[in-house]
Amino acid sequence: MEKKNDRDIVFAIFLIFIGGIFLLNTTGIVGWGIWNYLVRFWPVFLIFAGIRLVFKKTLLSEIIVGVIAAILFTGIGLFSYMSYTNRDCPILSKMFCNESRMIIFPGGEQIEETEIVSPEDFEESTSIETRNIDLKIGASRFTLTDDSTSESYLEVESKYTENAIEPSLTKEIKDNALELSFKTTGYSGFFIGSRIEPTTFDLLTGQTDLPTSLITDLGAGEGTITLNELLLNEISSKIGAGKMEITLEAQSVPESITLDIGAGEMILNIPENVGFKMDYDLGIGEITLNGKAIDEFIGDNPSYLSPNYEDAEIKIEIDANVGVGSLQINNI
């Protein structure tokens, strides 16, 4: 009787691929946020299942499909890594990176520009009582600071590559509220061999006594928010697979903060005289206060009061949703 061929080269390559990614995660070479990009390729397994049905299960067909799988999985890994970060390329530096990064998207002219939203942009009779700032930023670096001496509602200094991630700033007034929306658009093509420089956006808010609501949505980039004097009503911050650090001085502490963290890292720095009540939903990530765990890995405590809450001069209500990432709260 002919011995049945039980080899499954595709599955073996898949295990090697997954094991390799986990090894890079646990050694700190690649962040866990890369899984947000890898899971988008799940239909590939349906394709391979269909291919296996088409070809008879012979050693030759296994080798052919295995070679295709190896090439495809390698491509998926490289694509996911490049999409995950544009900060640097620790793995691909010798292959693709010098001072800029080789990616599969088209490059173009390096652009530096400044956009300013000021009172002169509106009629003198226009009444602005509040300000809403909405930031939706992809795989980029950004900073947000405030300046009490500035009369501008928002200033944006952008450094980006044409045809890559590009900025868009809009402004309008609704019911005496100034709506400021800053977004980044995605890549506009698909070519091999183009270089783009790291994309950065530096934002500054003036008119710091104007009550302001801040909404941020960061994809796979890196964000730093440092506010000393801006009068904040609330903060709502969402992060996918990147890193966000928010530092608030006492004058800029809002009444409520909403945090939605996927596979990324969120750091919230608040003054030590600020107490907080936190309602949270925790997956397999962790939440810490001054380096000590509040809860970790599928937490079952729905709320937490900081030790200084009862006697605190300033109090915040925090609503946190943490998936596989981390929330670090620090007193400064």
Q: Name the amino acid, one letter, at 328.
A: Q
Span 261-273, average pLDDT: 93
Residue scoring higher pLDDT (198 or 77): 77
pLDDT band at 99 (very low <50, low <70, confident <90, very high): very low
Span 275-281, average pLDDT: 94
Structure tokens at 253: 């502490």
Whether 134 has a pLDDT exceeding 90, the answer reads yes
Span 291-307, average pLDDT: 77
C-beta neighbour count of 128 within 10 angstroms: 14
**Among the ranges given (64-68, 224-228, 294-298), the one the predictor scored with the smallest mean pLDDT:** 294-298
Q: Which long-range contacts (CB under 8 A, 24 or more apart) does 292-301 make?
A: 294/329
pLDDT band at 240 (very low <50, low <70, confident <90, very high): confident
Question: Phi, psi (5° rounding) for residue 95?
Answer: -90, -45
Q: Which long-range contacts (CB under 8 A, 24 or more apart) does 88-95 make?
A: 90/29, 91/24, 91/29, 91/30
What pLDDT does 81 receive?
73
pLDDT exceeding 70 applies to what percent of the chain?
Answer: 79
Question: Phi, psi (5° rounding) for residue 96?
Answer: -125, -20
Q: Where do the domains of the chain lie?
A: 9-84, 110-331
Structure tokens at 118: 């000021």
SS3 category, 45:
helix
Span 69-76, average pLDDT: 84
C-alpha span between 53 and 214 (Å, rounded): 53
pLDDT band at 105 (very low <50, low <70, confident <90, very high): very low
What pLDDT does 93 receive?
36
Residue 44, H or E segment = helix 43-54
What pLDDT does 6 receive?
55
pLDDT band at 17 (very low <50, low <70, confident <90, very high): confident
pLDDT band at 253 (very low <50, low <70, confident <90, very high): very high
Q: How high does pLDDT run on average in the chain?
A: 82
What pLDDT does 261 receive?
93
pLDDT exceeding 90 applies to what percent of the chain?
Answer: 48
**Among the ranges given (8-17, 200-209, 249-258, 279-288), the one the predictor scored with the smallest mean pLDDT:** 8-17
